[in-house]
Amino acid sequence: MIYDLPFDVVFCPDYQTETVIDGWQEETTRGYKHYFAEKDGMRYQILVSKENNWYLKTINISSEPKTGFVGIRFLWKNTEKDYTLVPGIYYDGNAQSLLNPIPKIDSENPVFEASLSAASFPTVLMKQGNIGYHYEISPMSSAGWNGVALDEKNSSFTVFAPAKEEKIYRHQGFNGTRLPYTWNCGDIISIRFSRNEFKCETVCDLFDHHWQKAIRSDFYPAYNTPKIDEDEGAKLVRDWVYEKHSVITPKGEPMILNAFTNVEGSWPYGGAAEWNIMIGWCDGTMTALPMLKFGGKYRDFAVKFIDFLSTNGNSPSGVKYCVYDGEAWMTKEHKEYSNAYTHCRFYSDYLTYLGKAIRFEKENGYSHPDWEKDFERGIKALTGLWKREKDFGIYWDLESEELKTTRPLTGAGSFCVLALSEGVKIFPENEEIRKCFEEACDVYYERCVSTGRCNGGPVDIKEADDSESIGALTNALLERYKLFGGDNNLKKATDAAKLFATWVVNYVPPFPCGSMLENVNVCGGVLANVQNRHVGPGICTNSARFLYDLGKETGDSRWTDL
């Protein structure tokens, strides 16, 4: 046992068997102190490069191949007051207490395993009491991606090479158990890791440490050079949307089709409807607003599209149905109806970007009474819901005379809070809207930022912690500061942004030679959520412009870099 270093070394020949390496000896070579042990034909060496920084080297010194996983294990306390983070993978359990626990640690087998290929940064942060622990890990070895395992039952945290992952979640894109590595005679596998302590009284302190210390690594570059000019790229996308997705239906209705249809034959998982729009999330006013800004024929079509949206699809509850297939809106009678289509995000996105469109058009001398009437109707529905329930929930009853939540809590209501910020701008004299907006900002800050748990934003993965909901909440909190000022309001927006930053890939991952992603630079990509683990250059169709605004308000250029 290494008495003066806070970890054990283990070797696992398979998923069921484990050997703790003992009998360590100390020796000095070329002025460097290191520890070594030999067991079952393997030699293990630990080099202390500097304080709290180590290298573990494993060598097969026998004539026979050795197959398995090598791991470095630390104690892991997980009391109710503690918090553990693996950025992009694990946010203190990955499930709210009152919600469907996916992908929460299985109570019958309380082990969370994941490859660091799924992390936005190869690090683990833990808050234990008033002390924070920051572990930085080399993401890969010559055996492939390294991985982490959090074991509640044995109160341990382990780094494995290669990644040891038997419990696989759906939508991960990996359908089997990860294979162990085989060391032939003389083969060497090395893992670099470090461990540092810092004062950590709140969960927000943990995210602040990640922002201050782990935003850059001494070992991996953080850069990404655009391959196309922004203006040129915007025009290419504009023309693609106009030519491929902007249509007049056989009924004469102007529609900008969303991405999940077969309009381009590129969506292999369903969505066969010939005519299909969503009012938000991936379509609707979110797509129409930039078309408006380009003017000319693009604006003309966008105006017609918003005219159609603002005068159709109203439900009894005061908000809209979220999907239209060219024949009918997505009511309970629709053949493709599911509860997912009552998610609050669709309408909140619609309302947010409708408000932006109204303000943009007014600035350019245009007035749209139908848009304004529909926007006022929606803001009234949200403020009414807030006054009754003090929550925006995740699902809504669209058939009730007054809007009701059918499932409470989560961070999904962050999109509603952002929509209310548009209401404050368009109706600045309305104290009721302002009161609801500010109350909601405080409630969602305490629920999602103070706890380090923000989930419910993605429509497809409803219960998982995600970047989309915390992105919306950061945006809303920053809008509050821009509207009303206040140092505390700026602090809350900055706290939220530091949580959002954990979803951004902030190093250049060294993808394996010969792999599909070899030499692909995903630095700056945003991981969607802890379950499906896909990455894209944005917040699932939402803008990250709030990071530029935050950089301007705080004077911290790192927000602009992010």
For 83-90, what is the mean pLDDT?
92
Model confidence pLDDT, tens digit, residues 510-554: 888 888 888 889 999 999 888 777 888 778 778 889 999 999 999
CA 430, 436, 438: angle at the middle one, nearest 5? Answer: 100
What are the CA-CA distances from residue 203 to residues 80, 97, 206, 478, 501 (Å)?
A: 12, 18, 5, 20, 14
**What is the predicted pLDDT for the residue at 270?**
47
Specify whether the CB–CB gap between 261 and 247 falls below 8 A. no
Query: Computed over its alpha carbons, how large is the radius of gyration of the chain?
Result: 26
**What is the predicted pLDDT for the residue at 100?**
42
| pLDDT for residue 300 is more than 70 | yes
For 234-262, what is the mean pLDDT?
87
Interacting residues of 487 by C-beta distance below 8 A, sequence separation 6+: none
Model confidence pLDDT, tens digit, residues 463-502: 789 999 999 999 999 999 999 999 999 999 999 999 999 9
Q: How many CB atoms lie within 10 A of CB 270?
A: 10
The sign of the dihedral angle between the CA atoms of 273, 276, 281, 282 is: positive
Q: Please tell me the number of Cα atoms within 13 Å of 22 on its side-chain side.
A: 4
**What is the predicted pLDDT for the residue at 3?**
56
Return the minimum-mean-pLDDT range out of 38-42, 303-307, 357-361, 505-509: 505-509
Helix H or strand E encompassing 220: none
| pLDDT for residue 170 is more than 50 | no
Interacting residues of 308 by C-beta distance below 8 A, sequence separation 6+: 253, 254, 255
Nearest CA-CA partner of 244 in 252, 255, 234: 255
Q: What percent of the chain has pLDDT over 70?
A: 90
Model confidence pLDDT, tens digit, residues 325-357: 888 999 999 988 999 999 999 999 999 999 999
Confidence of residue 172 (pLDDT cuts 50, 70, 90): very low
The sign of the dihedral angle between the CA atoms of 340, 344, 348, 350 is: positive
> pTM for the full model?
0.93
d(C-alpha 15, C-alpha 178), whole Å: 10
Model confidence pLDDT, tens digit, residues 259-284: 655 556 554 444 444 558 999 988 99
For 98-126, what is the mean pLDDT?
74
Domains in the chain, start-ordered, CATH in brackets? Answer: 8-198 (no CATH), 230-561 (1.50.10.10)
Start-end of H helices in 340-466: 344-363, 369-389, 414-426, 431-444
Q: What is the DSSP letter of 156?
A: E
Compute CA 245 distance to the chain's CA centroid, rounded to the nearest angstrom: 27
Q: At what angle do helices 230-240 and 285-294 cross, to 10 degrees?
A: 120
d(C-alpha 221, C-alpha 16), whole Å: 37
